[in-house]
Amino acid sequence: MGESSYLLGTHAEELERLRFQHELWRPAAQAAWQRAGLSAGMRVLDVGAGPGFASMDLARTVGPTGRVLGLELSEAYVAAGQAMARNAQLPWLELRRHDLLRDRWPAEGFDLAWCRWVAMFLPDLDPLLSGLEQSLRIGGQLVLHEYVHWDSFGLHPGGGAIARFGQACQRSFREAGGDPDPNRRLPALLAARGWRIEAVQPLPVAGDSRSMAGQWLQRFVEVYGVRLQELGLWSSGDAAEAHAEMVAAAADPGSYWVGPTVLDVRASRAE
Ligand SMILES: C[S@@+](CC[C@H](N)C(=O)[O-])C[C@H]1O[C@@H](n2cnc3c(N)ncnc32)[C@H](O)[C@@H]1O
């Protein structure tokens, strides 16, 4: 897979979108890491790390006696993440170009693996699960933040074009070989391979147009709408309709956005 094969792209706007998205979801991520026992000195694997926004937070927590390795397909994201790590003086954070489906996973006995919004793009989950078994120590913890209910995405009341946008997104993920809601399957796949499922909990988000959740979803409609048009799944007329709905919603104090629902899954690697 090359630079252009990641469905959402790796252009500057997508990098900024990922930064903002991480700001919104940071408290949920940090709470999940805490439940998994993240602490100083730990070795952590960030699976499909993007430009490494979560990796940076993980690196600050594990400190210089720990290690964070981010595996990422995109050369551009790896370069951006390495530059951020250097600027922040976090030499124990490494971003590495790695294809989760094809490359050999590092057998370093990691204590914790973190994977957010990555499984949804993979046409085959087996290499992900085998790779995690290769890289985590026995008893090591896995925290997965992937979607479980994309259908909850919407703008209310009304939002007909936005609802169609959500359907077009799901179609685009499926047509590229992915699954919008991989956390419907992952706990069962992990359990079948002998992992212990420690906890599952949904993480819903909602808010008006000015809230961080609302801004995140509006930005996604604008940025990913361009890609959906390239894919022939969305038209300029659809985009104009969706834009008009967003403008109307911003002037309506009763309107609100709901995001696609993430499921937080924590599992531990058994013998
Ligand atoms: C939506 S981004 C999420 C990034 C990061 N996990 C976060 O939460 O901010 C999905 C990332 O998965 C990466 N990815 C997709 N397929 C991959 C593969 N086969 N191997 C490695 N990374 C992959 C993409 O390049 C992209 O950076």
**Ordered structural domains, the chain, with CATH:** 3-268 (3.40.50.150)
131 lines ligand 1 (CB under 6 A): no
Cα separation, 49 vs 22, whole angstroms: 11
Tens digit of each residue's pLDDT (9 = 90 or more) over 45-90: 999 999 999 999 999 999 999 999 999 999 999 999 999 999 999 9
pLDDT band of residue 126 (cuts 50, 70, 90) is: very high
102 CA distance to ligand 1 middle (Å): 14
Nearest to 9 by CA among 94, 126, 121: 121
In the block, tokens 């792209």 appear at 9
Most distant pair of Cα atoms in the chain: their distance: 56
Tens digit of each residue's pLDDT (9 = 90 or more) over 139-151: 999 999 999 999 9
Burial class of residue 158 in the structure, from the number of CB atoms within 10 Å of its CB (0-12 exposed, 13-18 middle, 19+ buried) = middle
Residue ID of nearest Cα to ligand 1 atom 4: 50
| Cβ contact 41:108 at 8 Å | no
For residue 3, pLDDT over 60 is answered with no
132 lines ligand 1 (CB under 6 A): no
165 lines ligand 1 (CB under 6 A): no
Per DSSP, what are the bridge partners of residue 156? 256
pLDDT band of residue 210 (cuts 50, 70, 90) is: very high
Cα separation, 141 vs 212, whole angstroms: 30
Cα separation, 222 vs 167, whole angstroms: 15
187 CA distance to ligand 1 middle (Å): 20
| Cβ contact 10:3 at 8 Å | yes
